[in-house]
């Protein structure tokens, strides 16, 4: 019988009274690692009440003292990077190197949140009228919650938790039920910090647990990261209950390959973006739009690259790409490759039906390259979220930008070019919130907002940096006169 995961509420690990549990599997080996409870609404209520009780005292702890816990957290995370990275690889499938990279980006958010004493400052004026002064302060919102996806189980909770508590809020995390083990270990480390009970909570579960969070009157702000249909539903439901919401959705990121691009670099960097993490990054490049003469050389070089990547278990030496997250996900991605073929695309490198020796039960889809995908096809409008790169061919930059801007998503768009004029035009005109110029994964550093647009984001304040501080605080303006 595999291990049952507990919730962390009011400073204690508590067994869930859930009627149902879901298996957490290692996608490379198909081994069941643990069972995650689908926690009922009563447990969300317990977490929210514990957080509410803790809030009155926590908000009064000076911010310079609150961030001391984050300095300790940073040190603990550094000490446990290898162990956490192994865990990420085991439950999520990405390579060990990718898991370490993910943690580095998470730790960077802890570092930035350590600067909250300056970031949270307000502003003021003397004499807005004679003898009258005006001040703006930032105060915490109260109890806040984050609902996170499977694909970055270490980094994404850290987009939210450090800022939320540094600003004086109490925090509830509902991690993905597919990858809850990293969150469990993170909370074991948080438990070692000696935070007052109730400041941070972990509640496992899926849809019903999330709905209980959205409906709970004591929870004032919701941060969500996941697929677009769920992001939309969460945005609506939480907003309807008067909460502030930031909901990051799915993506299908395009890259333009200009004929003047450094083709060796473009192919290497685009392949890393499209096939790294088995294509399960919200900043993965999924569509390559080749302009003019770029097409044939790009396709030929990318086909070599895709066919040559070493696929396997991410903890094994030399492996460059791991499996997708579940057996259903493998079937879905393979089904979409078949659909692309039916819709008229050419399968140049076919990753379907392949096995990794020693890991026959793993959910592997090998790197796949599609050419001449019809721009209006169903597959083109679907987020594949697997190691599939689709190539489109256009005549000129005008047409390429039109194709980039015709999409429902707007998480990221990239261009590969050696022309400053092309780069500038693209940067100015592309309809996406994160732009890469000769970059494959334009992930903003923690001191910049993670700026998805269109159907990749619902809300206004994004994750990370100053946006996070604004999201987790409410402004209070004081006008005062003293005789
Ligand atoms: P998902 O939408 O299936 O799940 C995300 C979270 O929502 C999980 O915690 C899950 O338990 C919960 N959930 C699922 N269905 C729900 C429902 N009907 N009602 C309420 N809650 C529900 O996403 P996923 O498969 O875990 O993650 C992959 C998706 O996340 C991709 O679409 C990817 O593009 C996106 N993503 C986006 C970003 C970004 O920054 N925009 C970052 C990472 C991942």
pLDDT digits (tens, 9 = 90+) for 64-79: 999 999 999 999 999 9
Beta bridge partners of 21: 37
Quick one: tokens of 424? 């500038």
Once rounded to an integer, what is the mean pLDDT over residues 158-164?
98
CB 220 within 8 A of CB 473: no
- The CA distance from 210 to 171, in Å, is 14
- The CA distance from 189 to 386, in Å, is 32
Quick one: tokens of 229? 């249909």
* CATH level 3 topology of 7-249+456-481: Aldehyde Dehydrogenase; Chain A, domain 1 (3.40.605)
Mutate to test the pocket of ligand 1, among 155, 174, 226 (most ligand atoms within 8 A of CB): 226
What pairing do the DSSP bridges indicate for beta strands 132-140 and 473-481?
Answer: antiparallel
- The CA distance from 323 to 330, in Å, is 8
Ligand 1: residue whose CA is nearest its atom 30? 226
Q: Which atom of ligand 1 is nearest to the CA of 227?
A: 32
Asked if 92 is an active-site residue, the reply is no
Tokens 């249909």, located at residue: 229
The mean of the pLDDT values for the chain is 98
- 26: part of which helix (H) or strand (E)? strand 21-26
For residue 255, give the nearest of 380, 401, 461, 409 by alpha carbon.
Answer: 401
pLDDT digits (tens, 9 = 90+) for 4-56: 999 999 999 999 999 999 999 999 999 999 999 999 999 999 999 999 999 99
**459 CA to centre of own chain:** 16
Residue extent(s) of CATH 3.40.605.10 domains in the chain: 7-249+456-481
Sign of CA dihedral 474, 210, 459, 388: positive
Once rounded to an integer, what is the mean pLDDT over residues 354-362?
97
Radius of gyration of the chain, Cα coordinates, nearest whole angstrom: 23
Ligand 1: residue whose CA is nearest its atom 40? 248
Once rounded to an integer, what is the mean pLDDT over residues 160-184?
98
From ligand 1's centre to the CA of 399, what distance in Å?
32
Four-CA torsion 392, 394, 397, 402, nearest 10 degrees: -70
CA distances from 446 to 104, 106, 207, 223, 469 (A): 10, 8, 29, 16, 12
The CATH number of domain 253-437, selected from 3.40.50.1980, 3.30.450.20, 3.30.300.20, 3.40.309.10: 3.40.309.10
CB 278 within 8 A of CB 386: yes
For residue 422, give the nearest of 321, 331, 289, 333 by alpha carbon.
Answer: 289
Residue extent(s) of CATH 3.40.309.10 domains in the chain: 253-437
Q: Which atom of ligand 1 is nearest to the CA of 233?
A: 19
Q: With 80 as the cut, is the pLDDT of residue 1 above it?
A: no
CB 8 within 8 A of CB 14: yes
Ligand 1: residue whose CA is nearest its atom 42? 282
Q: pTM to 2 decimals?
A: 0.97
- What residue ranges line ligand 1, CB within 6 angstroms? 147-152, 174, 176-177, 206-207, 210, 225-227, 230, 233, 248-251, 282, 383, 385, 411, 450, 452, 456
**252 CA to centre of own chain:** 14
Q: With 90 as the cut, is the pLDDT of residue 277 above it?
A: yes
Confidence band for 483, pLDDT divided at 50, 70 and 90: confident
Confidence band for 112, pLDDT divided at 50, 70 and 90: very high
Once rounded to an integer, what is the mean pLDDT over residues 392-416?
97
- The CA distance from 10 to 200, in Å, is 8
Return all residues near 207 (Cβ < 8 A) that are at least 6 apart: none
Q: Which atom of ligand 1 is nearest to the CA of 211?
A: 20
CB 273 within 8 A of CB 252: no
Q: Which atom of ligand 1 is nearest to the CA of 148?
A: 9
- State the pLDDT at residue 2: 86
Mutate to test the pocket of ligand 1, among 208, 230, 330, 410 (most ligand atoms within 8 A of CB): 230
State percent of the chain over pLDDT 90.
99
In degrees and rounded to multiples of 5, residue 109 shows phi and psi of -70, -35
- The CA distance from 117 to 100, in Å, is 29
Confidence band for 386, pLDDT divided at 50, 70 and 90: very high
From ligand 1's centre to the CA of 229, what distance in Å?
9
State percent of the chain over pLDDT 70.
100
pLDDT digits (tens, 9 = 90+) for 423-467: 999 999 999 999 999 999 999 999 999 999 999 999 999 999 999
Helix (H, G, I), strand (E, B) or coil at 371: strand
Tokens 């298996």, located at residue: 23
Q: Count CB atoms within 10 A of the CB of residue 477.
A: 10
From ligand 1's centre to the CA of 225, what distance in Å?
6
Once rounded to an integer, what is the mean pLDDT over residues 167-174?
99
């Amino acid at each position: 019988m595999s291990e049952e995961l507990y919730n962390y509420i009011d400073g204690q690990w508590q067994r869930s009274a859930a009627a149902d549990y879901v298996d957490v599997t290692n996608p490379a080996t198909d081994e069941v690692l643990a069972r995650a409870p689908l926690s009922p609404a009563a447990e969300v209520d317990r977490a929210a009440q514990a957080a509410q009780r803790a809030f009155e005292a926590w908000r009064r702890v000076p911010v310079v003292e609150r961030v001391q816990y984050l300095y300790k957290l940073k040190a603990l995370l550094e000490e446990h990077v290898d162990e956490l990275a192994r865990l990420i690889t085991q439950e999520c499938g990405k390579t060990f190197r990718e898991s370490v990279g993910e943690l580095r980006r998470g730790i960077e958010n802890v570092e930035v949140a350590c600067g909250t004493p300056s970031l949270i400052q307000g502003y003021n004026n003397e004499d807005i009228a004679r003898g009258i002064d005006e001040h703006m302060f930032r105060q915490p919102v109260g109890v806040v919650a984050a609902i996170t996806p499977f694909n970055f189980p270490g980094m994404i909770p850290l987009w939210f938790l450090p800022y939320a508590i540094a600003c004086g809020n109490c925090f509830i995390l509902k991690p993905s039920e597919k990858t809850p083990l990293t969150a469990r270990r993170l909370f074991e480390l948080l438990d070692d910090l000696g935070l007052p009970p109730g400041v941070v909570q972990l509640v496992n579960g899926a849809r019903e647990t999330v709905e209980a969070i959205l409906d709970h009157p004591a929870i004032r702000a919701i941060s969500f990261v996941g697929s677009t249909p769920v992001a939309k539903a969460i945005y609506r439901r939480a907003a309807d209950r008067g909460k502030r919401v930031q909901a990051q959705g799915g993506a299908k990121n395009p890259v333009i390959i200009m004929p003047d691009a450094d083709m060796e670099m473009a192919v290497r960097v685009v392949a890393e973006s499209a096939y790294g993490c088995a294509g399960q990054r919200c900043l993965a490049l999924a569509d390559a739009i080749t302009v003019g003469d770029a097409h044939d050389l790009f396709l030929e070089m990318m086909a070599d690259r895709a066919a040559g990547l070493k696929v396997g278990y991410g903890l094994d030496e030399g492996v460059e790409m791991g499996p997708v997250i579940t057996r259903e996900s493998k079937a879905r991605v393979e089904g979409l490759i078949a659909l692309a073929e039916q819709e008229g695309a050419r399968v140049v490198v076919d990753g379907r039906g392949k096995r990794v020796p020693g890991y026959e039960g793993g959910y592997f889809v090998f790197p796949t390259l599609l050419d001449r995908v019809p721009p209006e096809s169903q597959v083109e409008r679907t987020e594949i979220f697997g190691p599939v790169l689709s190539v489109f061919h256009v005549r000129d930059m005008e047409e390429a930008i039109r194709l980039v801007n015709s999409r429902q998503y707007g998480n990221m768009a990239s261009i590969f070019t050696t022309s400053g004029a092309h780069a500038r035009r693209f940067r100015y005109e592309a309809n996406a919130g994160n732009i890469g110029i000769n970059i494959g994964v334009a992930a903003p550093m923690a001191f910049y907002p993670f700026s998805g647009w269109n159907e990749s984001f619902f809300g206004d304040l994004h994750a990370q940096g100053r946006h996070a501080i604004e999201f987790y605080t409410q402004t209070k303006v004081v006008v005062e006169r003293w005789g």
